[in-house]
Amino acid sequence: MDTFLATSFDPVPANSIKKPTIIIMSDGHVDLDALEDGMSREWMTVWIRSHLLEQDDRVPFHKDDFELAEQLFINMWFRAKSDSLVHDALDFGCDTLLGEAWDSLLADKLCRFAPNLLDLAAVIRPESARSRFADIILSPLDFTIPLLEKWLLAAAAYQNQSPELLRKWMLLLQQGIHPVITCSVLSQSPDWDMKWNALLLLFKALSPADRNVLFNSEVKRFLEKQPGCVLDILVSQLELFSSTPGFLDTVNSVSVSLGYASIFR
């Protein structure tokens, strides 16, 4: 593929011997093969930091075009092979910087790259950061603090969370802490009772206007998997559901579309 820019970018300390060349191809993407020639995890870490801080004069991002600072690395992540050096370096760099950002938060210091870094982590879900996010969720912190919402969002992006973590997410939901985020994690639980309890707690937390929209798809999904169990639960919660205008009609429509009779008469 043709290239239109080739530059050497060395954001690491002067004593580093790894100085990869950043080549921007004609399609606007970074040439990953060229990047891997001489790249190190440490170099990638410093590049991520400098780019998120808008101090990257080699591959700057364009805020006027509504480009996100983290998009460069998201694109690289999805273009790279899962066993590539680029994947490994991005995983390492993201986790390392998450450690810096978390230490800054605990020290009540501003970390300017933290918001974009957490958005990056929520998309690429670095495996090396899984235990870090687990420790954060299991900690006794006050998750009602607005600064912690993005940390919760990034932690919620991970699949296959442990039973211990799921119980903590349920506790957060029961406390009314970011119910949409917490319920999204609990919907992954293999325990159907936990899933339904989470869904009912979310239903109670939502405004009447939001209940039909968010609950409709979930009812359909559950009916497809466990129709008998779901029908019993829906009927048992009649008083709760009937307080929301139009909700019973919505559930009936979903039930009929799946070949069942109307649940509520």
The one-digit pLDDT tens for each residue of the chain (265 residues) are: 433 333 334 444 545 446 788 888 888 889 999 999 888 999 999 999 999 999 988 787 666 666 789 999 999 999 999 999 999 999 999 999 999 999 999 999 999 999 999 999 999 999 999 999 999 999 999 998 888 999 999 999 999 999 999 999 999 999 999 998 999 899 888 888 898 889 888 888 888 777 767 666 666 666 666 666 666 666 777 777 777 777 777 777 777 877 777 777 6
- Residue 102: exposed, middle, or buried by beta-carbon count in 10 A (0-12, 13-18, 19+)? middle
In a domain, 252, yes or no: yes
- H/E/C letters for each residue in 110-169? CCCCHHHHHHHHHHHCCHHHHHHHHHHHHCCCCCCCHHHHHHHHHHHCCCCCCHHHHHHH
227 lies in some domain: yes
The count of other CB atoms within 10 Å of the CB of residue 181 is 18
- How many domains would you assign to the chain? 1
Are 228 and 203 contacting, i.e. CB atoms less than 8 angstroms apart? no
Domain annotation covers residue 228: yes
Task: Identify whether 85 is part of a domain.
Answer: no
> What is the reported pLDDT for 207?
80
Is residue 59 within 8 Å of 24, Cβ to Cβ? Answer: yes
In a domain, residue 225? The reply is: yes
Model pLDDT, residue 185: 94
**Is the distance from CB of 263 to CB of 234 less than 8 angstroms?**
yes
For residue 179, give the 3-state DSSP assignment.
helix
Range(s) of the domain holding residue 250: 218-265
pTM: 0.81
C-alpha distance across the termini of the chain, in Å: 64
Comparing CA positions, the residue from 89, 86, 48 lying closest to residue 70 is: 48
Region for residue 249 given its phi and psi (left: phi exceeds 0; alpha: psi -120 to 50; beta: otherwise): alpha
In a domain, 247, yes or no: yes
Instruction: Please check whether residue 226 lies inside any domain of the structure.
Output: yes
**127 in any annotated domain:** no
